[in-house]
Amino acid sequence: MRSLRTFAIGAVTVALLLGSLLLTQMDFAAIAGAASQLTIIPLMLAASLLIAGALLAVLRLWCISADIGTPLSFRDAMLALSLGQIAGAISVQFFGQIAARAALLGRRGISNSANIVMATYERAAAVFVSAGMATCGAIYLFGKLSFDIEQGGAQFLTIVAGMTCIVIAGAATVWGRYALPIIRELMTPKVAKAVFRNALLTMLIQFCTAGAYVMLAHNLSPDTTIQNLIAASLVVMFAASLPISFSGWGLREISAVFVLGTVGIAAAVALTISIAIGALALIAVIFVAGAAVVSTGELTDDTPGSGSQRFELTNFLKWALPIAAATAVFFQIYVPTGATNLSVNLADPIAVLGGMIFVSEYGRNAQWRLPGLPFFAAIATLILFLSYLHGYVDFGSNHWASVNRLLGWLIVLGYVATGALVVAKGGERGAVLFAKAFIVTAASIVVFWACIIFANRIGVVLPKGVLVEPLAGFSQNRNAFSFGLLMAICALPLVLPRQRLAAFTILAFGLWVSNSFAACGSLVVVAGLLVYFRIMSLRAVGGATLMVAVAVALFHFAPYFSEYFGARGGDFNILVNFSARESSNLERFISLQGGFALFLQHPLFGAGLGQFIESQTIGGIPLVIHSTPIWLLAETGIVGLLAFAGPAAWLYVREFARRDFDPISQVIVLVLTTFAIMSEVHELMFQRPLWLLLGVALFSQASIKSSGTVLPRVG
């Protein structure tokens, strides 16, 4: 309860700060005028519908708890839902909900992992069901949903096709045989019935909320048709269901102003409706909490699906989340947010969930390969936070400092924990399975794009925007893509010798096509270490190099052969393009020079996060420092560089001494060497594949020792 009080005080403080900021942007006169038109009957009807929706949500939670094998009493389900919703209303919804529930359910013997799974299950059901309902509403309002091949549609289809092919490749070669028994267990009438029941309950909850919207909207705008109000409400509810807002506040209000505006409702009226719904929803869960407090009924023995055979979803996720992250981490997409595009890695939500499960299950007793690793992580986090405060006091803040660096670092820690999760659950077997999935994903991406490039070279006409030179895979940046391929090469010590040659050849070809000098230079060093560690023989590396050269020649001369069939080959350049590097080299030189000058001005503690990008632009585009050590020196100073580089150097020395008998040591040395080389001319601190693979390696000490198994090596 002391932890809950501390959380509540912090959440209320944040809520007041954000609320004050929100209030400064509101037109109080217009909102007050609209609110004065609300009458008691629509308000009571809307409140009744929201209370009914809250009770249906309690029923859904009660059912879900039984479905995952941790049944709750109905009274506990009422308390858990209401406390979670109230905590979410004064904090970031998803995390506040989990924290409040943990304080209650922990005393009922429910693990934190089960609590996280239940909250995720609820949120996923809400997002998917509301997405379907919002689609129907959008089609009704706008007549159709457009899909323009020339305006991003082709790229979207390429991502979908690539993800499909890669998942199929991973299932066929790595994890399919392990997932098949689980899929068979899931494909039962009992599970299907549970999923359908929860989806139906979610739909009823959404209809209750939509009804509340319609009641208030019809009261304030009686000329708008009921059909339009229902359709618009469904779209607004989808925005509010996304777990990226402050308890729905923000996205709900913005979407309400936009969507309700399309049916003729003024912005002030739409904002008033949305605020009223948020307030009434909070009152509804408070009512449920009060009902739970005065209730004494216990229904644990009658919970549905509480028989002896239960599907252990939590244990499944401990395997599935790291493997899913190994696949999704190579997909970086841009989400439009109005003024700019937000870069999002598809594995980020997976890493957050996996990290939460790892911390709740293994955090207290975790034995890391590097002694004191949690302490070093805490110091690095503190350094970044203090640097952010330093920058905030000096010049304010910017998106790069607050989201990319500060929030990004917390997500990076989630990747480390997610990688460790598969080892904590599966030991050495888990580490090997992850490495195979990681390598197969990277190699499959190269093969997928190689097919597209070859099709272009022989004259197949591709939609605009599908193939961009140089190749960036699905990472939106060639250097990020090539660094991910290098990380896959660094994982080769964990797979069988007969698998290494093919993987190395495919990944090396991808590095060539990515046209990254830094990556190709790093590959030479990594290949030398692979030979030195006897992971691959010199003959095998030479053979792989020859095969890459043959493939490059075949792709280069493909257009000449296609002319015999009357086709004109595409213009994707398979060779190194030196002319395209002049502008990027100029930007890099300017960033390195400016970053070092900033370090000289603030040598000890740096100039603060975001200071450099705040003042440096080229052609209106913010310029980042193209070097990890110089970035750390410029914005966090010598103290910040030592906080990150010190533990890394100690880890490198320890693992290099164990390289001859431990394949995990070889992986760590390869990873740190690659990062040290390539980060000199690129900022790679927040590249997700690095931290995901390190998480697996840094938690593998106990399993390797206990198994007594030596992974296969050459020689």
d(CA 486, CA 512): 12
Residue 168 lies in a domain: no
d(CA 34, CA 269): 6
pLDDT confidence of residue 670? 96
Q: Quick one: tokens of 113?
A: 């992992």
- Same domain assignment for residues 344 and 260: no
Residue 83 lies in a domain: yes
Lowest pLDDT segment from 124-133, 310-319, 623-632: 310-319
Lowest pLDDT segment from 39-43, 69-73, 129-133, 585-589: 585-589
Helices in 533-662 by DSSP H: which ranges?
538-562, 582-601, 611-615, 628-657
- Same domain assignment for residues 432 and 502: yes
Mean pLDDT of 546-559: 90
pLDDT confidence of residue 307? 36
- Same domain assignment for residues 138 and 202: yes
Q: Could you tell me where the beta strands, DSSP code E, fall in 550-680?
A: 617-618, 621-622
The SS3 call for residue 29 is helix
- Same domain assignment for residues 385 and 256: no
For residues 670 and 687, is the Cβ–Cβ distance under 8 A?
A: no
d(CA 477, CA 490): 20
- Count of domains observed in the chain: 2
Query: Nearest-CA neighbor of 420 among 119, 712, 691, 115?
Result: 691
Residue 173 lies in a domain: no
Residue 520 lies in a domain: yes
- Same domain assignment for residues 563 and 684: yes
- Same domain assignment for residues 385 and 514: yes
Of 240, 264, 297, which residue sits at a domain end?
Answer: 297
Mean pLDDT of 332-345: 60
Query: Nearest-CA neighbor of 134 among 224, 43, 203, 221?
Result: 203
- Same domain assignment for residues 438 and 522: yes
- Same domain assignment for residues 291 and 392: no
More reliable by pLDDT, 34 or 125:
125
- Check pLDDT > 50 for residue 702: no
- Same domain assignment for residues 418 and 284: no
pLDDT digits (tens, 9 = 90+) for 630-680: 999 999 999 999 999 999 999 999 999 988 888 999 999 999 999 999 999
Query: Hey, how many other C-beta atoms are within 10 angstroms of the C-beta on 139?
Result: 12
The SS3 call for residue 90 is coil
- Same domain assignment for residues 274 and 344: no
Burial 551-561 (b: 16+ CB within 10 A, else e): bbeebeebbee
pLDDT digits (tens, 9 = 90+) for 118-155: 888 888 888 888 888 888 887 877 665 555 555 556 77
- Same domain assignment for residues 284 and 327: no
Mean pLDDT of 55-72: 88
Phi, psi of 335 (to 5 degrees): -105, 120
Residue 678 lies in a domain: yes
Q: Quick one: tokens of 175?
A: 């994890």
At 593, is the pLDDT very low, low, confident or very high (cuts 50, 70, 90)?
A: confident
Domain containing 120 equals 28-145+189-297
Q: Peptide bond before 647: cis, by omega within 30 degrees of 0?
A: no
pLDDT digits (tens, 9 = 90+) for 442-460: 999 999 999 998 888 887 8
Mean pLDDT of 380-391: 92
At 224, is the pLDDT very low, low, confident or very high (cuts 50, 70, 90)?
A: confident
Residue 690 lies in a domain: yes
Which residue(s) pair with 617 in the sheet?
622
DSSP characters for 454-497?
A: HHHHTT----TTSS-SSP-TTTTSHHHHHHHHHHHHHTGGGS-H
pLDDT confidence of residue 450? 92
State the first-to-last Cα distance of the chain, in angstroms, to the nearest integer.
Answer: 59
- Check pLDDT > 70 for residue 348: yes
pLDDT confidence of residue 310? 42
Residue 102 lies in a domain: yes
d(CA 539, CA 550): 17
d(CA 335, CA 332): 10
- Same domain assignment for residues 293 and 329: no
d(CA 161, CA 179): 22
pLDDT confidence of residue 467? 81
Of 253, 281, 297, which residue sits at a domain end?
Answer: 297
Of 297, 330, 348, which residue sits at a domain end?
Answer: 297
| Residue 475 CB partners (closer than 8 Å, separation 6+) | 330, 331, 332, 481, 484
Residue 181 lies in a domain: no
